[in-house]
Structure 1
Amino acid sequence: MKLIIATQTSLALPLIQDLYARQQLAAVWLYDVTGEDSRQLAAQCAMLGIGVQVMDPEKPEALLQHQSVQQADAIVSCYLSFLFPPAMVQALQGKLLNIHASDLPQWRGADPLFWQIGEGAESGCLTLHQIAEQADTGDILYQQMFNIHPYDTHQSLNISLSQYMPLFIGQWLSAGGMDCKPQPQRKFQSEDKPAPRPDINSTGINWQQQGSLDIFHLTRACNPQLGGAAFSFNQDVLYLLEATPVEHPRYGLAAGTIVHIGEPEGLLVACHDGVLRLDIIYLAAGIFSGLRFAERYQLQVGQSFDSYPITKREKLDGRNNSQYNELCR
């Protein structure tokens, strides 16, 4: 059996190398060739002598012709944001597959790992399914559970799954590969959750609504590709890359209020259900430990951080502006 791997990132390289070594790789379809990661993957493929076909959304017929020439049994999409046009889905019906990191139909969407980490999930599921005209709705061919470490970030989990992918596809091939009987997904239920691409509302900290564990998991989900979970101080945006719930008195302070600054505890902030240590904070001026940030900008116990998005005036992005006058006083 010969497979084409369709991707846009070097996270797919372990799978590509494994199939190549087993002489089961027909070619690689590469999307977004202007990106640095895509260029690095193309260079790796060139070193191995693996044929690469650039995916042009305006020329699906070129991909169909390439699949026919390569006589590939299936195209497996992984780590790919490209949505195949309906004409391709119909022409390659049953041969166009995708690896999705959730137990479909739960967490359908562009970023299932973000939402699972953000909810504190301890495990997930890789699903190999046929691509249908509606995203993430095709029949299921194979599934395997995976563990989520309590300290996994979005990127560390992606890397772990990247390294597990060869075994996952190898097990599917051993189970019959394309001869595996497709199973229709169960009907989508009201309790099933979507997994859209995170936006400003899903990556911001709401001190009044989120507890210490909620914020802990959100920082993991936002680290590093989203720059951290956003919150604000004096209308300026800060990004929390790491935080830890700790045992410490709240003193009855409102959520978002600083309850302690100093060694060895660090920068501690009240939540409605406990206390959170702000471990690593990112802003335009650099990356600081919570304690060094508090000392550098002379924060005081009793001061409060604000939720994000900012609603009082025009939103500011700390990664793209230098308006930190209030902090620097």
Structure 2
Amino acid sequence: MKLIIATQTSLALPLIQDLYARQQLAAVWLYDVTGEDSRQLATQCSMLGINLLVMDPERPQVLIDHQKTLQADAIVSCYLSFLFPASMVQELKGKLLNIHASNLPEWRGADPLFWQIASGAGETFLTLHQIAAQADSGDILFQQKLSIHPYDTHQGVNLYLSQKMPLFITQWLSAGGMDLKAQPQRVLQDKDKPATRPDSNAAGINWQQSGCLDIFNLARACNPQLGGAAFSFNQEVLYLLEATPVNHPSYGLEAGTIVHIGEPEGLLVACHDGVLRLDVIYLSAGIFSGLRFAERYQLQAGQRFDSYPITKREKQDGRNNSQYNELCR
């Protein structure tokens, strides 16, 4: 079986190299070669002598003709930021596939990992599905469940999944590949939240609404591609890259208020459900530990951080108390 891999990032390189080594790679379709990461991937493919085609979404017939010329059995999309045009989906029906990082139909959208990490999920899925007219709605061919470590960041999970993709595709091929019967996705329910591409609002901390674990997970989800979870102090935007819920009295202080500054506890801030240690903060002047930031800018207990403007979104039902208790130890 021969596959074409459609991508735009070197995160797909482990899969490309594995298929190439097993002589099951027909070509690589590369999108957005203006980025440094894409250029590096193009260089790697050229060095290996891989058939490389730069995709132009405005010229789908070129891609269709290329697939027919190579007689590739399927095109597998991964880490791709655009949707294939309807003409391609129709022409290559059943042969146009995508790897999505969620248990579809949960978290359909451009960045499922962000929302899974931000909600404190302990696991994710690699899901190979057929591409349909509606994004991420096609029938499912193969799935694998994978764990998310409580301390994983967005980029960390992406790298982990990247390393798992070669075995994932190998297992799919061994199980029957294109001969496997595709299974329709279950009916979309209200609990199945969309995974839209996060913006600055999604990365904002609302001290009044978010608990310790909410902020802890949001910082992980925003690290590093959004620079951290945003909040403000004296009208300057700060970015929280790492935080830890701790066992410490909040003294009844309002959420967002500094509870304590000093060794060995660090910079402690009250939340509505406990106390959070701000471990790593990024701002225009550089990256600081929470304690060094507080000492450098002469913060004092009782001062209050401000929320960053965000679009209110519904909290995940059922807080993971076991995760919270573990982090507080």
Unaligned 5+ runs, structure 1: 312-329
Q: CA deviation at 1:65?
A: 1.1
Amino acid at match of 1:160: Y
Tell whether 2:242 aligns with 1:242: yes
Contact 2:204 2:310 in 1 (8 A): no
Letter in 1 for 2:201: N
Q: Where do 1:1-329 residues align within 5 Å?
A: 1-309=1-309
- Kindly provide the CA deviation profile for residues 55-110 of structure 1, in whole angstroms up to 9, marking residues without a partner as x: 11111111111111111000000011121000000010000000000111110000
Q: Report SS of the residue matched to 1:304.
A: coil
Unpaired stretches in structure 2, ≥5 consecutive residues: 312-329
SS of the residue 2:189 aligns to: coil
Post-superposition shift, 1:201? 2.0
Comparing 147-156 with 198-207, which one deviates more in the overlay? 198-207
Deviation at 1:310, TM superposition (A): 8.1
AA at the equivalent of 1:227: G
Runs of 4+ in structure 1 off by over 4 angstroms are none
Matched-pair contact (CA < 8 Å) for 2:95–2:130: yes
TM-score (norm 2): 0.93
Q: Which amino acid aligns with 2:65?
A: Q
The one-letter amino acid paired with 2:79 is: Y
CA distance in 2, matches of 1:56, 1:74: 19
Q: What one-letter code is carried by the residue in structure 2 that aligns with 1:95?
A: K
Whole-angstrom distance in 1 between the partners of 2:13 and 2:125: 20
Determine helix, strand or coil for the equivalent of 1:26.
Answer: strand
Q: Secondary structure of the equivalent of 1:62?
A: helix
Give the percent of matched residue pairs that are identical in Structure 1 and Structure 2.
81
Cα distance in 1, alignment partners of residues 310 and 177 from structure 2: 50
Q: TM-score w.r.t. structure 1 length?
A: 0.93
Distance in 2 between the 1:191 and 1:278 partners?
31
Structure 1 residues 72 and 280: CA distance shift in structure 2, 3 A: same
Contact 2:126 2:146 in 1 (8 A): yes
Contact 1:232 1:310 (8 Å CA) reproduced: no
Cα distance in 2 for partners of 1:44, 1:70 equals: 21
Q: Secondary structure at the match of 1:12?
A: helix
Contact 1:131 1:138 (C-alpha < 8 Å) held by counterparts: yes
Kindly report the root-mean-square deviation, in angstroms, between the aligned alpha carbons of the 2 structures: 1.0
- Kept after mapping to 2: 8 A contact 1:235/1:310: no
Secondary structure of residue in 1 paired with 2:76: strand
1:123-173 deviation per Cα after TM superposition (whole angstroms, max 9, x unaligned): 111110000011000010001100001100000000000000000000000
Contact 2:81 2:110 in 1 (8 A): yes
Count the aligned residue pairs: 311
Q: Are the aligned partners of 2:9 and 2:79 in contact in 1 as well (CA < 8 Å)?
A: yes
Contact 1:213 1:245 in 2 (8 A): yes
State the SS of the aligned residue for 2:72: coil
Change (3 A) 1:106 1:245: same
CA distance 1:310–1:138, shift in 2 (3 Å): closer
Q: 1:314 corresponds to which residue?
A: none
Q: Is the 8 A contact 2:138 2:185 kept in 1?
A: yes
Q: 2:217 is paired with a residue of what secondary structure?
A: helix
Deviation per CA, 1:151-198, whole angstroms, max 9, x where unpaired? 000000000000000000000000000000011111101111111111
SS at match of 2:143: strand
The question of whether the paired residues in 1 share the 8 Å contact of 2:97 and 2:131 is answered with: yes
Counterpart of 2:307 in 1: which secondary structure? coil
Q: Secondary structure at the match of 1:28?
A: strand
